[in-house]
Structure 1
Amino acid sequence: MEILDHMALLGPLDWAAAGAIIAAWFVIGWMIEHPGAKRPSVTVLMSGRRRDWMKVFVTRDPRIFDSQILASLRQGTSFFASTCLLAVGGVLALAGNTEPLRGVAVEMTEMAVPVLVFQLKLALVAVFLTNAFLKFVWANRVFGYCAVLMAAVPNDPEDPTAYPLAAQAAELNIRAAINFNRGLRAMYFALGALAWLLGPFALMIATAVVVWVVWSREFASLPRSILLGDDA
């Protein structure tokens, strides 16, 4: 009953703001991964380039360059996974140590806000960070699958299995990249979710900023213009 009483301190605006950031996370992700044919996202454009990479890979000799690229991609996923793990630990440590949260509550409000309210708000941040960690870990593993499949591609371009295997490697590479991008988006939204500590209006503003940043990088960035220029 006490927990319900504490949760009641989160007003309708708080729940609306929390629902808005979660909905925005899903919607922007769907828009990026399923854009219209007339306005492709950077993710979709890069998927085409990854398929081109595997086609060239079949005829490249030696293939050291390709292995170095894949190793670099896996290092990136490992770095971000480690970063997320540290961030989750920091959030959990802050949620477990109630004294700093009590100090924040006293400074920001005139009333004594229960620490549980701040812990609930930090839980949203932890959810985003946990999702990001899982996406990065899975991306790293799928990049590993891709590496094995690339190693299985015959060195002879005339081999009938060469291009089909390379095409499978390309699709695994794309799936790994998609999960990597999902992890990055979750990190962006985790940063935005921190604004909830300042109140629901701050969270709504932060959500709008994060959506704009993510959208602009996929649909209105210089890299996208460069990729489209290559197609011209």
Structure 2
Amino acid sequence: MTIFEGLALGLFFLCWLGYGPLLALLARRSGSLNDDMIVVRRAWMMVMTHREVRIVDSQLMGHTINSAGFFASTSLLLIAAVASVLFGGEQALQGVAIIDEGMGSTRLLEAKLALVLLCLARGLLDFIWSIRQMNYALALIGAAPEMHTESDRVALGEAAANLLNPALSAFSQGVRGYYFGLAAAAWLFGPLWLAVGVVVVFCLLVWRQAASPAARAVRTARRLLEQHLPSD
């Protein structure tokens, strides 16, 4: 591995591991899409406790679980494809080496594929944990009795939100694995491609969280919803 390969790989891990802390910093300062959605989902669970019939809540949860299941299934297929090349022997690796004749040693090629596999595997674990937590939240919604006091409604809504928000946070982390997996795949074309790819992915994710039209719209909705939420 050349010094340029090492620097590009270091930049990749810096962006991958540093994205979460940066997102938390953005949430404290100017707000982020993920942080705003925590408030939106909390408001949803509070409204849910006032409904006598919660069919719409169950349908929304079911749709979200199906989405997570789709991503998890796709991750499994991609993991199987990458693993078949990585562990398929010299002949399988030679097929990938056609992409770049100057790719280097077989060990380096294996490292590049292993990085892609790592991103996909981490994403798959996040999707699995997300689905499990969403199923817990769905069971809580289905088991929720009709509440007669506001304090009971608030307690139930908080409990449901405390299940749902980590579930959707894990879902977001799983989707993030796809982005960094694409950046990792760019390493197959050389260290410069890896560096450019991870910087583009990092900037795109930060922009979507802080300055995209979706982020601005959700931030406006958060301000309105917070006025109707019970104070902590």
Length-normalised TM-score, structure 1: 0.88
One of 210, 214, 225 as aligned partner of 2:201: 210
Per-residue Cα deviation, 1:124-158 (whole angstroms, up to 9, x for no partner): 00000000000000000001111122233221242
**Could you tell me the percent identity over the aligned residues?**
30
Corresponding position of 2:145: 154
Counterpart CA distance in 2 for 1:228 and 1:175 is: 19
- Judge conservation of contact 2:72–2:128 (CA < 8 Å) in 1: yes
2:110 counterpart of 1:119 = yes
Match of 1:12 in 2: 3
Q: Aligned AA for 2:93?
A: L
Distance 1:228 1:129 in 2: 30
What is aligned with 1:4? none
Give the deviation of 1:106 after TM superposition: 5.8
Q: Which moved more, 1:168-177 or 1:152-161?
A: 152-161
Look up the match of 1:108. Answer: 100
Q: After TM superposition, give the deviation of residue 34 of structure 1 in Å.
A: 4.4
Taking a change above 3 Å as real, the CA distance of residues 165 and 136 of structure 1, as seen in their structure-2 partners, is same
Deviation at 1:103, TM superposition (A): 4.8
CA displacement at 1:164 relative to structure 2? 0.7
1:74 aligns with 2:65: yes
Instruction: Measure, in 2, the Cα distance between the counterparts of 1:229 and 1:186.
Output: 28
d(CA) in 2 for partners of 1:123 and 1:83? 18
Distance 1:82 1:17 in 2: 30
The change in CA–CA distance for 1:119 and 1:160 in structure 2 (over 3 A counts) is: same
**Alpha-carbon contact 1:41-1:219 (below 8 Å) kept:** yes
Secondary structure of 1:108 counterpart: coil
Amino acid at match of 1:161: D
Post-superposition shift, 1:33? 3.8
SS in structure 1 of the partner of residue 52 of structure 2 = coil
Task: Report which structure shows greater RCO (CA 8 Å, sep ≥6).
Answer: 2
Aligned to 1:50: 41
- Residues 1:106 and 1:77: Cα distance change in structure 2 (over 3 Å): closer
Displacement of 1:161 in angstroms is 3.1
Q: What is the letter of the counterpart of residue 175 of structure 1?
A: P
Counterpart of 2:30 in structure 1 is 39
Determine the C-alpha separation between the residues in 2 that align with 1:116 and 1:177: 37
C-alpha separation between the residues in 2 aligned to 1:145 and 1:51? Answer: 16
Task: Select which of 167, 171, 175 maps to 2:158.
Answer: 167
Q: d(CA) in 1 for partners of 2:132 and 2:177? A: 19
Which residue identity does 2:195 align to in structure 1? M
Q: Alpha-carbon deviation of 1:107?
A: 6.2
In structure 2, the residue matched to 1:129 is 120
Alignment partners' CA distance in 1, 2:56 and 2:39 = 19
Q: Deviations over 1:63-115 (max 9, x none)?
A: 100000111111111111111111000101122343353255466336x8332
Structure 2 counterpart of 1:109, which letter?
A: E
Shift of 1:166: 1.7
1:199 aligns with 2:190: yes
What is the letter of the counterpart of residue 67 of structure 2?
G
2:99–2:189 CA contact under 8 A, matched in 1: no
Q: Distance in 1 between matches of 2:201 and 2:28?
A: 24
Q: Quick one: structure 1 residues 69 and 109, their matched pair in 2 at CA, closer, same or farther if it must change by over 3 Å?
A: same
Q: TM-score, normalised by structure 2?
A: 0.88
Q: Choose which of 191, 203, 223 in structure 1 pairs with 2:214.
A: 223
Alignment of 1:138 with 2:129, yes or no, is yes
